[in-house]
Structure 1
Amino acid sequence: MSKKKKKYKRKNGSGSVYRLSGNRRKPWVAVKTVGWMEGENEGDASVQKRKIIGYFEKEDEAMLALLTYKEKPYVTIVDEKTTVKELYDMLYKESEKEGLSKSSLDILKASYKAIETLKGEPLFDLTSMDFQFIIDSIIEDPNQKSSFSKLNKIKSLINKMYNILIMHQVTQVNHAQFISLRGKKEGDVPPFPEKDIQTLFKNDKNRIAKSSLILAYTGLRISEFLELRKFLNVDLKRMLIVGGNKTEAGKDRAIAIHPYIQRYVEYFFNEFPESEYLFSRNGEKVTPDYYRRYYHNQLVEDLKLSNLNPHSFRHTAASKMKMAGMDDKAITDMIGHTSIDFTDKRYVEVDEKYLHEQMRKVK
């Protein structure tokens, strides 16, 4: 009767040494855990990916090999079989290393989700038409927002994937250049019409109407608004919001709180005293996707507003500021766009009294 395989376990995930059954010259095996795989079915525990280091005559030799084993640096192999999913994973990991903000990583995830049906396909085998079909489907689907910004981000992701293949000399053609956005142009995001803004004021007992009006009179992106910390970004004494994170021009910009929305900012500041965030869901942070799906879309339906996304409030704010006669310096500082000289941006300080005077021009 053969001996039962004896296994010597170390700390979970750090590898193990065990003896094989039968008469063998080198019966002892050293095995190293090199990663984890998801279980076959949803809810199953993760499974170890293991690598055999070697076979040994004695247990001590196997244990020493395991303890002294050093993994060789992982080298990513990119070839004609590299899939869309593998290329996306490379880009995402690189973006994390570069320190991209969470909102930028979320945009990357959303862009990939649009082309996820092709995840198992080698990119080398695909052409622009495979992606064009997806772009056209988004444009033609009335339930999807097919703005230039969204479509261009998807195209940008595909472009970066092809650039990886080109960098590794797998192909010479970047097929992303042939993808058409079917006439979509930058700036196609319209502002909410004034009648909608007045509807929000008339229904400002609704907390999402309050938050919408804050967006419409500050120009904050929805991601920036949801990141605002009460004691870090909001100064009720000076009536200023200091926030913004998407671009260099928009980081930590000072925004004067318009008199029309002061009471709404104060409402959220005091709504959940224990929460660090200005706007929250029972004190917990809200993601942009959750806000759009469960707050904004419901508000649009309930108040019969124009079917636009929250980003249109940013365009509303910029339009109001421009039409009110605010000067370009004040607008670019508060909206966070860079269209003025570098010296103005770095060395000219905008007085907060001046910002408030300019903001009061808006009606």
Structure 2
Amino acid sequence: MKWNQALHDFQHYLNLERGLSKNSISNYVLDVEKLILFLESHQIVETPINIDKSTVQQFIYELAKNVNPRSQARVISGLKSFFNYLVFEDYRQDNPMELIESPKVGRKLPDTLSEEEINALIGAIDLSKPEGERNRAILETLYGCGLRVSELLDLKLSDLYFEEDFIKVTGKGDKQRFVPISEINKKYINIYRKEIRIHLTIKKGAEDILFLNRRGNKLTRAMIFTVIKQLAQDIGLKKSISPHTFRHSFATHLLQNGADLRAIQQMLGHESITTTEVYMHVDRTHLAEVMNRYHPRKG
């Protein structure tokens, strides 16, 4: 079995059997491709079936010299999954990654923005340009609904249930959830829809996509990143931010204002509550407030 064939089959498995998103599958593929590149650059002729522990250890040793522990752990995890798949399909008897330990990495706390910083970013949008109304609606939706950037890009007109104050979001693994949407968020989406989007010549296949570029086609992740980075630069914000920062801020601000962790979990579309619990570490003052408010011996 050649590497290309094994990688193709692995992608197929991640998509159909595991139901992973395109982004997750792409990350797994990149992990395996790093190993393939290493083998080619060192002229090591080993297949996915016969590659042994000493070769993968050599690869991990070289990787450790060039990437940080978090990235190293990510690649090790991806390769473990790849070889587990080969074992599962009876191509191999063992996983050569089995005894390789991931480096210890601390739990990375998400970056967040204050309400003032979010207001400043949105306030810096040039509304005299047609894309200004779109960009305002995009930032309001990222922050107001706590969406992942991929979820925002896939949002459809048919997903908007404004009369019920909800939007339907398609998350990781094509899992769908309903997320509440505020009046102000609906207002800005409607301005974009009725005053800007209606005048676009929409490309075939993008008729139902909510947020479009000037050519009437679906936006890319890179475009959203660029818009946000430019706004941060415009207001002199020194933090390193991305579309995900708005999602983190959404969750953190809800928690700070007394929202229930399980409700936040449902809105974010986290499968496990432990993923949502990271927000408990962002602002520990919330824990003290809960204790003082609800414990029977608070007085």
Q: Provide TM-score, normalisation by structure 1.
A: 0.57
Match of 1:105 among 1, 16, 22: 22
- 1:129 Cα deviation from its structure 2 partner: 4.4
CA–CA distance in 2 between the matches of 1:177 and 1:188?
A: 29
3-state DSSP of counterpart to 2:151: helix
Matched, 1:160 2:77: no
Matched, 1:261 2:185: yes
Q: Is the 8 A contact 1:219 1:318 kept in 2?
A: yes
Change (3 A) 1:152 1:290: farther
CA–CA distance in 2 between the matches of 1:261 and 1:223?
A: 19
- 1:247 Cα deviation from its structure 2 partner: 5.5
Q: Is the 8 A contact 1:95 1:105 kept in 2?
A: no
Matched, 1:296 2:228: yes
Change (3 A) 1:166 1:109: same
3-state DSSP of counterpart to 2:213: coil
- 1:284 Cα deviation from its structure 2 partner: 1.0
Q: Is the 8 A contact 1:214 1:264 kept in 2?
A: no
Q: Which residue of 2 aligns with 1:118?
A: 35
Larger relative CO (CA 8 A, sep 6+): 1 or 2?
A: 2
Q: Which residue of 2 aligns with 1:325?
A: 258
3-state DSSP of counterpart to 2:167: strand
- 1:222 Cα deviation from its structure 2 partner: 0.9
Q: Deviations over 1:40-92 (max 9, x none)?
A: xxxxxxxxxxxxxxxxxxxxxxxxxxxxxxxxxxxxx4xxxx43x44322201
Q: Which amino acid aligns with 2:220?
A: T
Change (3 A) 1:246 1:137: same
CA–CA distance in 1 between the matches of 2:137 and 2:7?
A: 38
Q: Is the 8 A contact 1:158 1:176 kept in 2?
A: no
Match of 2:14 among 83, 86, 95: 95
Q: Is the 8 A contact 2:166 2:178 kept in 1?
A: yes
Matched, 1:127 2:53: no
CA–CA distance in 2 between the matches of 1:164 and 1:309?
A: 33
The number of residue pairs the alignment matches comes to 244
Highest Rg: 1 or 2? 1
Q: Is the 8 A contact 2:159 2:168 kept in 1?
A: yes
Q: Which residue of 1 aligns with 2:243?
A: 310
3-state DSSP of counterpart to 1:178: coil
CA–CA distance in 2 between the matches of 1:151 and 1:299?
A: 32
Q: Deviations over 1:20-43 (max 9, x none)?
A: xxxxxxxxxxxxxxxxxxxxxxxx
CA–CA distance in 1 between the matches of 2:74 and 2:210?
A: 29
- Percent of aligned pairs with the same residue? 21
Q: Is the 8 A contact 2:112 2:249 kept in 1?
A: yes
Unaligned runs of 5+ in 1: 1-76, 141-147, 341-363
CA-based RMSD: 3.2
Q: Is the 8 A contact 1:112 1:154 kept in 2?
A: no
Q: Which residue of 2 aligns with 1:188?
A: 109
Q: Which residue of 1 aligns with 2:277?
A: none
Q: Deviations over 1:91-149 (max 9, x none)?
A: 01223443836xx1332223433553432533515323413543663438xxxxxxx5x
CA–CA distance in 1 between the matches of 2:97 and 2:192?
A: 48
- 1:307 Cα deviation from its structure 2 partner: 0.9
Map 1:1-363 → 2, pairs under 5 A: 77=1, 82-83=2-3, 85-98=4-17, 100=19, 104-113=21-30, 116-119=33-36, 121=39, 122=46, 123=48, 124-125=51-52, 126-131=55-60, 133-134=62-63, 137-139=66-68, 153-167=74-88, 168=90, 170=92, 172-175=94-97, 178-185=100-107, 187-204=108-125, 205=127, 206=132, 207-230=134-157, 232-246=158-172, 251-270=175-194, 271-273=196-198, 274=202, 275-282=207-214, 283-292=216-225, 294-305=226-237, 306-338=239-271
Q: Which amino acid aligns with 1:234?
A: L
CA–CA distance in 2 between the matches of 1:317 and 1:300?
A: 18
Q: Deviations over 1:256-306 (max 9, x none)?
A: 2224433322233333235421212132112335533x4333344344442
CA–CA distance in 1 between the matches of 2:91 and 2:32?
A: 24
- 1:316 Cα deviation from its structure 2 partner: 0.9
- 1:339 Cα deviation from its structure 2 partner: 5.8
CA–CA distance in 2 between the matches of 1:280 and 1:136?
A: 42
**Runs of 4+ with >6 A deviation:** none
Q: Which residue of 1 aligns with 2:295?
A: none
Q: Provide TM-score, normalisation by structure 2.
A: 0.67
> Which has a greater percent of helix?
2
- 1:176 Cα deviation from its structure 2 partner: 5.9
3-state DSSP of counterpart to 1:243: strand
3-state DSSP of counterpart to 1:100: coil
- 1:210 Cα deviation from its structure 2 partner: 4.0
Q: Which residue of 2 aligns with 1:349?
A: none
